[in-house]
Amino acid sequence: MGEPTILLELEGIIKEFSSVRVLDRVSFGIQAGEIMGLIGENGAGKSTLIKIISGIYQKTDGVIRLGGQTTEIPDYITAKKLGIGIVPQEFNLINYLTVYENIFLGSELHKGLLLDKGAMRSEAGAQLKMLKMPLDVNKHVSELSVAEKQMVEIAKAMILDARFLIFDEPTTTLTAVEVQTLFDLMRKLKQKGVTMIFVSHKLQEILTICDRVTVLRDGKLVSVDRVEDLTTQTLAKKMVGRDFNQVFPDKIDSTGKPKILEVESLSSGSVIKDISFNLRKGEILGFAGLVGAGRTETMEALMGLRKAEKGSVRIQGKTVKIRSAKDAVAHGLGYISEDRQGKGIVMNYDIPKNISLISLKEKYLKRGLIDKTKEDEASEHYIKEFRIVAASKKSQLRFFSGGNQQKVYLSRWMDTDPSILILDEPTRGIDINSKKEIYEFIHRLAEAEISCIIISSEMEEIIGMCNRVYVMREGRMAGCLEKEQVTEENIVFQATGIKKV
Amino acid sequence: MGENKIVSYFRSFRFKDHSLGMAFIILIVIATFVGWPNFLKVRNLTNILRQISYTGIISLGMTLIIISGGIDLSVGSMAAFVGGISIFFLNLFGPTSTLGIVLTFLFALVLGSACGALNGIMVSKFKMAPFIVTLGTMSIFRSLIQYFSNAGTILSVNMDYGKLGSSMFLGLPIPVWCFIIVGLVLHVVLNHTSFGRYLCATGSNEQVAKYSAINIAIVKFLPYVITGFTVGVTAVMWSSRLNCINPSDCAGYEMDAIAAAVIGGTLMSGGKGSIIGTMMGAVMLGIINNMLVMGGISAFLQQAVKGFVIIVAVLLQYNNSNK
């Protein structure tokens, strides 16, 4: 054998969007059967590159060689026929169809003019079995969990015998345990000879699963290294282009401070049962657990966004009734949803309109009409404070990067002057620099005696930020960890219920 | 300083942002040629404005409904219903009562708002599809007024009522003044009040609005009430013009109202729209009609042209939003 064969080779790939160069002469090769990591900050060009490979975008210049042959990939269907599959970050599944119908979507099997449902069912079943995925092919996709939907995406990409599979930030919405399952699956695929590109923000994951790593920065290739030659530090340095110190600020100890929020046996439908917890003044409290453990639902019930049948809430010692989000805001509660695009930002609103959305009536009315000057001044203030990068404060939020959208979203809630701020997956899908800024911001809040609750599936984040962590499992409170008890091991044990601490 | 502002305005001027204004000007130029020399006569222009004012007033409320993500198909039937019942009410006061006219105007506004509220409750409280709800009430209002009128004309006995709809004030017909005033008020409501802000946010993404502590039930309810109110205004203007109502009057008003909003740039998917745009859209529809008449094109083809214009407007919206 000797030299490993190069399956896919990129040479001098250039991509321009209306004369802005987002990829600048990127060249590297991927060997058959390896897992190639692709890492870079938001805007580094990762997504653009994989979209070119999978035929969604067209390169402006450069050469793609597939198995030594110069290949044009004019569209997604051609890519599929060439054996290039993609597992997208945002799922392209149709909720009302079943698992097998989704797997065969766009490549249905026919018997004459009619669909051959029997054959599709059995082939989809065989495929899932081969991938060791415990899924019922007749189930509707709407009934599946996030991790299961991803399995369907993988099966869908594999059904046409893909020999080359691209994973676009597949772990963003998965919990630690689910990530392990995904990695096991990727190793299995590797044994079957499938070549993979794994795109991620997360350094540790890249080092765990990949053979080699390609780093992109500002549209240019920085390096291609074997993972054995890298550590998280060196990789982070390559990625941001400077020394990368500790991401997390020092922890804050708020033991002995007065309790600002006390929740007792909060229950809502079948999703959360008897949840009790408390929060101290100026504390950064963590909520850990698997996806679907009921953390988000707990906060929604607290915020009046979800009906709670039972339970009492005390704020600063006084029992309060919260029936709507409006009540919650009036009591100084703020909730930043994990679903920034679906529940957070008004995409066709500019910065001022987004920021003032909740505090409009309290702060920006003058004789019944909106005082736009005051609104603009407030947004100038937040743009400066959060270092929001925008062409103009009047541009619509849909043109912003994830990090900047998140900062605008944070500004909106800060403008309500909350005394308790709940942050649900506050750093999901944003680049490492913005992440660091958000951690520092949360730290500043706590120093200013504003209490924060962080829900996160990123173990490092919870462990790095919180002195006290509640762990939830299947809609119930599994336990509370404090100080040196807050370790990855303890959290996983409680979250999965494998072993008591 | 002032000059710089003007210069920078023209530098940043993009045709795409002003396509409606452009279309408006081009249309007037074409109409001037086609209808030369009659089109530009004050009498003709006043007439166009009068003709569009009836559906124009309703289209202002309709704009808010469409922004909220809904639709109201019942406005035409509702106008005939409110107009008819209002004349019954007016006739209680005898042939010369001025007080009767004032009270009837108020009565029509309240009745219209109540009819709108009926639609609104079903959409916001019972979470039914606006298309279905208003398709139902469209049929109900029409049927009721036919029943109450025994399918005949409902005549007003008040001798002064007719003046309300046919008089001029400062050179413009009263219904045109109503169109302008309601338009300005709703423009302020949409752009300068918290309700307007919440409305666009809710139409753009209901979940975002809910999670931003906005009471979406009320925000989705109110546009129907406001539209009912505008229907009340139109009902009075229309019925007072001829001093009677036919139970088949105002059919197809929903089409013109929706068309004006869409041509004016309101997104059918909700979340974005403009009252000034709708007012221009309504006037443009009037000019097109007028042009067709002057150009000697069959009246039967006018609806076809209108349909075509709506499709083109939506097509342009679609292309713009994809770029």
Question: Three-state SS string across A170-186, please?
Answer: CCCCCCHHHHHHHHHHH
- CB-side exposure of B248: number of CA atoms within 13 Å? 2
Q: Using the 3D structure, point to which of A202, A221, A240 is the last residue of a domain.
A: A240
Q: Give the 3-state secondary structure of residue A350.
A: coil
pLDDT at A1: 43
> Residues A368-422: pLDDT tens digits?
999 999 999 999 999 999 888 887 888 889 888 778 899 999 999 999 999 999 9
pLDDT at B3: 56
Domain co-membership, A279 together with A146: no
Domain co-membership, A57 together with A103: yes
Higher-confidence residue: B144 or A115?
Answer: B144
* % of chain A beyond a pLDDT of 90: 43
Mutation target to probe the B interface, by most B beta carbons within 10 A, among A335, A348, A405 is A348
Q: Which two tokens stand for residue B63?
A: 């704009």
Interchain contact, B212 vs A358, CB within 8 Å: yes
State the residue range of the domain holding B83: 36-321
Contacts of A382 (CB under 8 A, 6+ apart): A351, A355, A388, A407, A408, A411, A414, A415
pLDDT at B14: 59
The domain total for chain B is: 1
Whether A200 contacts A40, CB under 8 Å? no
A342–chain B nearest CA distance, Å: 6
**B271: which chain A residues are within 8 Å (Cβ-Cβ)?**
348
Element (H or E) spanning B49, and its range?
helix B42-67
| ipTM score | 0.83
Closest CA to A262 of A318, A304, A305, A335: A318
Whether B243 contacts B155, CB under 8 Å? yes
Mean pLDDT, chain B cut into blocks of 10 residues (323 residues total): 60 65 87 85 93 96 97 97 96 91 96 98 95 97 95 90 89 95 97 95 93 94 98 96 92 93 91 94 92 83 83 75 47
Whether A422 contacts A303, CB under 8 Å? yes
pLDDT at A44: 79
pLDDT of residue A499 exceeding 60: no
Whether A119 contacts A111, CB under 8 Å? yes
β-bridge mates for residue A200, sequence order: A39
Domain co-membership, A406 together with A432: no
Interchain contact, B210 vs A347, CB within 8 Å: no
**B200: which chain A residues are within 8 Å (Cβ-Cβ)?**
346, 348-349
pLDDT at A381: 95
Closest CA to B246 of B104, B146, B137: B146
What pLDDT band is residue A457 in, cutting at 50, 70 and 90?
confident
In a domain, residue B140? The reply is: yes
d(CA B57, CA B184): 11
In a domain, residue A340? The reply is: no
**B212: which chain A residues are within 8 Å (Cβ-Cβ)?**
325, 357-358, 412
Q: Is A299 on the interface with B (CB under 8 A)?
A: no
pLDDT of residue A450 exceeding 90: yes
Whether B239 contacts B38, CB under 8 Å? no
pLDDT of residue A501 exceeding 50: no
Residue B147's CATH number:
1.10.3470
The domain total for chain A is: 3
pLDDT at B4: 65
State the residue range of the domain holding A217: 6-240
In a domain, residue A339? The reply is: no
Interchain contact, B194 vs A361, CB within 8 Å: yes
In a domain, residue B5? The reply is: no
Transcribe A374-418 into DSSP letters. Answer: HHHHHHHHHHHHTT---S-TTS-GGGS-HHHHHHHHHHHHHTT--
d(CA A461, CA A251): 12
Q: Which two tokens stand for residue B271?
A: 């979340």
> Residues A223-258: pLDDT tens digits?
999 999 988 888 877 887 765 456 788 888 888 889
> Any idea which residue has 């991401």 for tokens?
A247
Whether B250 contacts B241, CB under 8 Å? no
> Residues A82-112: pLDDT tens digits?
889 888 877 788 888 899 998 888 778 888 8
Element (H or E) spanning B311, and its range?
helix B302-321
Residue A468's CATH number:
3.40.50.300
What pLDDT band is residue A158 in, cutting at 50, 70 and 90?
confident
CA angle at B7 for the pair B2 and B11, rounded to the nearest 5° = 145
> Residues A330-367: pLDDT tens digits?
999 999 998 888 899 999 999 999 999 999 999 999 99
pLDDT at B172: 93
pLDDT of residue A276 exceeding 80: yes
A337–chain B nearest CA distance, Å: 8
Domain co-membership, A457 together with A408: no
Domain co-membership, A304 together with A196: no
In a domain, residue B27? The reply is: no
Mean of pLDDT over chain A = 87
Mean pLDDT of the region A48-71: 90
Domain co-membership, A413 together with A423: no
CA nearest B271 in A: which residue? A348
- Closest CB from A337, A349, A368 relative to B201: A349
Q: Kindly report which listed range (A162-166, A274-278, B11-15, B247-251) carries the lowest average pLDDT score.
A: B11-15
In a domain, residue B13? The reply is: no
| Backbone φ, ψ for residue A473 (5° rounding) | -145, 125
H helices within B125-215, ranges in order? Answer: 130-148, 161-166, 174-192, 194-204, 206-211
β-strand A272-280 against A259-268: which pairing, if any? antiparallel
d(CA A59, CA A52): 6
Q: Is the dihedral of CA A39, A432, A254, A293 positive or negative?
A: negative
Domain co-membership, A149 together with A263: no
Domain co-membership, A324 together with A377: no
Domain co-membership, A314 together with A193: no
Domain co-membership, A152 together with A282: no
Transcribe A143-203 into DSSP letters. Answer: GS-HHHHHHHHHHHHHTT--SEEEEESTTTT--HHHHHHHHHHHHHHHHTT-EEEEEES-H
Interchain contact, B211 vs A337, CB within 8 Å: yes
Domain co-membership, A251 together with A222: no
Considering the entire predicted model, what is its pTM? 0.77
Q: Using the 3D structure, point to which of A209, A240, A271 is the last residue of a domain.
A: A240
- Closest CB from B192, B209, B210 relative to A369: B192
> Any idea which residue has 């600020």 for tokens?
A249
pLDDT at B213: 92
Domain co-membership, A426 together with A407: no
Count the neighbouring beta carbons within 10 Å of the beta carbon of residue A34: 17
pLDDT at A301: 95
β-strand A318-320 against A310-315: which pairing, if any? antiparallel
Question: What's at A231, amino acid-wise?
Answer: T
Transcribe B162-179 into DSSP letters. Answer: HHHHH-EETTEEHHHHHH
CA distances from B247 to A108, B26, B150, B256 (A): 54, 38, 9, 19
Closest CA to A104 of A87, A78, A127: A127
